[in-house]
Amino acid sequence: MPSNVEIKAKVSDLTQFAQKAAELSQSEGTIIRQHDTFFSCSQGRLKLRDFMNGSGQLIFYERPDTDGPKLSRYSITPTSDPQSLQVVLSEALGVKGEVKKERRLFLIGQTRVHLDTVEGLGHYMELEVAEDLMEKLGVSKESLVTGAYMDLLLKEHKEI
């Protein structure tokens, strides 16, 4: 299974982070709308990512729920009919929850930098890689978060 190292953190100043990422990537980034449906499964996480344009990806991944950088192992398969696949998987496995977000993707060298606005949670960033880039972008270790957006949304609803 392929793998990468992922770092996720809350972003307190969206504009400042976007400016730094744009400078470092020498681009304004690419906007990607995503609607992720998480399904119940016995191990890891299984989600269907709908790009809201008739295409999507079924993604299975395993990643520890710990603070800081974490190794994520994943398998991805594309789909040209995410809505029908969502119906079948929902009936077969049950839905754990959904995450709707707008992602701004920057490429800084070989590192993918995601600036996400997550419905119901706010602004976050994900790096699919290195601590020196965290430092250049001004991301503190205190702002790192644990778990998937789905976990954060479930936690938010419990605290209300």
Identify the CATH number of the domain in which residue 116 sits. Answer: 2.40.320.10
Report the candidate in 158, 116, 113, 123 with the shortest Cα–Cα distance to residue 143: 123
How many domains is the chain partitioned into structurally?
Answer: 1
**Residue range(s) defining the domain that contains residue 135:** 3-159
pTM of the model: 0.82
List Cβ neighbours of 14 (8 Å cut-off, separation of 6 or more): 115, 117, 123
pLDDT in tens, 41-84: 999 999 999 999 999 999 999 988 877 778 788 999 999 999 99
Percentage of residues of the chain with pLDDT beyond 70: 98
